[in-house]
Amino acid sequence: MTFEEFLPEYLDAHAQPATRVIHAAGTIAGLTVLAAAVVRRKPALVPLALAVGYLPAWCSHWFIEHNTPKTFGKPLYSLRGDFVMLKRTLRGRLR
């Protein structure tokens, strides 16, 4: 499966606006913590960056979408999909 084949399936798994907002916030927060880890040279913050980014997103799948996060099946495609969805969400181009 290519990423182009995966993306529509990924976006369908994020049908609810609340899920997309939670994902966008988590992605931005996770990147912020990751940047702080790099700037401060504190690799111990990397797990925190992952938790800040992924835990709210996963909860949105379980409690809002009632589905399984795509991260569990295709983690790299899912991460790439997060950035595509974030870009589209910020530009107002997602459904």
Q: Is residue 61 domain-resident?
A: yes
Contact 40, 90 (CB under 8 A): no
In single-letter form, the type of residue at position 25 comes to A
Q: Is residue 95 domain-resident?
A: no
Q: Is residue 76 domain-resident?
A: yes
Q: Containing domain of residue 71, as a range?
A: 3-90
Q: Is residue 20 domain-resident?
A: yes
The list of the chain residues with pLDDT below 50 reads: none
Q: Looking at residue 13, what DSSP letter applies?
A: T
In single-letter form, the type of residue at position 16 comes to Q
- Report the distance separating Cα 31 and Cα 37, nearest Å: 10
Q: Is residue 67 domain-resident?
A: yes
Q: Tell me the whole-structure pTM to 2 decimals.
A: 0.87
Q: How many domains does the chain have?
A: 1
